[in-house]
Amino acid sequence: MSSSIQSRQAENPGHVANVRTLILFLGFVTLVGLLVWPSLAGRIQYAKTRAELSAIRDAAAGAELRAVGKLFTTLARVIGPAVVNVTSKKRVHTLADEIAALRGESPAGATNESVGSGVIVESDGVIVTNYHVVSQSDEIDVTLADGRRYKASLVGADAATDLAVLRVDAKDLPKADWADSDTAEVGEMVWAIGNPFGLDRTITYGIVSAVGRRGVVDNPFQEFLQTDASINPGNSGGPLVDVDGHVMGITTAIVGKGFRGIGFAIPSNTARRVCDEIRMTGHVERGYLGMALRELPPGLAAGPGAAVAAVEPKSPAAEAGVKPGDVVLSFDGEEITEPAELVLLLTRAPVGAEVPLEVIRDGEQMTITVRVGRRPHDK
């Protein structure tokens, strides 16, 4: 058998050569395929990916991204005309003035200026700004977005919340609407607009970083919205607005002397209430019970609440029967988690209102009805 095969192979040398050539060709093709195919496949995949990205970019450029960009520009147009620049001037009595007076000459009339921002909240010229922008001023100038300038009168101010209300003699002004700051959520978009470093109507963008922020300043009557929108000196008194262009807060404070990504705004509900009260009465009244409060010791079984450390004689709390050692759990149905929370609720309670105060005394829970008094001006 083997001799027969060998004889046939010997008889067909051309056939053997053809088989070898075919084998070599197939090997060469395979080698070329192994070398070329990855590059070719990569090019095909790249072309496919590029086409997909181009389609996505074209769709986004014509829809979502353009809509986001227009939101920013629309907000600037909506809120910008209602934002004003506020310059307060205070006359300074100097040694040169005294020398001039001795010589019978007119004093030089030096002044200190404080520059800030404000927002028109009523079309008849009512403007909200910060108290610290206009405090102790002898003259207040307001510049509108269209360049008109007015002398402003101070309707009233509230140092405790750092708010002031101004009025200019003008009609049909563009005004901003108030938002409901109680609905503000951490992470939602906000814009700040004002006069930082004298740069007229600068708008910056950020988010609400925190709500109900207390302890920022040494004032129990203040709580803030925190934002990372750029706020700098000169922004004080300007609005912090939401996606609808409504005023979510009044910018008032920063950490440090320049922008560090941490700024604070007075919530709109506080600013609106203070503004309305100042317009009606010229000042702000705050509720008062006459209790000294302290935090509960850690791990106390009663849980959240505020401990009554002392009660002033003949105060509303004393007349209602509140005693030292009581633990206040709620005020008018609102749970109390710390003393500062009760203080803030008191500031918002109408003077004369009868309010249920839920307390724990000697392990027994009870409800005491208190009549909210008027806080003395020295407290």
- Active-site residue, from 114, 117, 132, 181: 132
- pLDDT by residue (tens digit) across 24-66? 666 665 655 555 555 555 566 656 667 776 766 666 555 566 6
Question: Taking the model in full, what pTM does it have?
Answer: 0.71
Confidence label for 93 from pLDDT (cuts 50, 70 and 90) = low
Q: Per residue in 269-283, pLDDT tens?
A: 999 999 999 998 888
At 231 the pLDDT is: 86
Q: In sequence order, what are the residues at sequence separation of 6 or more whose Cβ sits closer than 8 angstroms to the Cβ of residue 146?
A: 81
In the chain, % of residues over pLDDT 90: 37
**Alpha carbon of 131 to those of 58, 118, 159, 341, 348: distances in Å?**
50, 11, 6, 23, 19
* Per-residue confidence band for 163, with pLDDT thresholds at 50, 70 and 90: very high
Catalytic residue among 162, 228, 242, 326: 162
Q: Say yes or no to pLDDT of 17 above 70.
A: no
Residues 234-246, mean pLDDT to the nearest whole number: 92
Task: Examine the residue annotation and report whether 132 is marked as an active-site residue of this protein.
Answer: yes
Predicted confidence at residue 8, as pLDDT, reads 46
Write down the pLDDT at residue 239: 95
- Say if residue 338's pLDDT is above 70: yes
Note if 182 is an active site residue. no
Please report the pLDDT score of residue 271 as a whole number: 94
What's residue 129's pLDDT? 96
Top-confidence residue, 75 or 17:
75
Lookup: tokens for 236: 């004080």
What average pLDDT does the segment 228-250 reach?
Answer: 91
CA 80/CA 74 separation, integer angstroms: 10
Identity of the highest mean pLDDT range in 109-118, 148-157, 290-299: 148-157
pLDDT band at 96 (very low <50, low <70, confident <90, very high): low
Q: pLDDT tens digits, residue range 175-209?
A: 999 999 999 999 999 999 998 887 888 899 899 99
How far apart (Å, rounded) are the C-alpha atoms in residues 62 and 95? 66
Catalytic residue among 137, 209, 236, 268: 236
Question: What are the residues whose beta carbons fall under 8 Å from the beta carbon of 246, sequence distance 6 or more?
Answer: 176, 177, 178, 179, 268
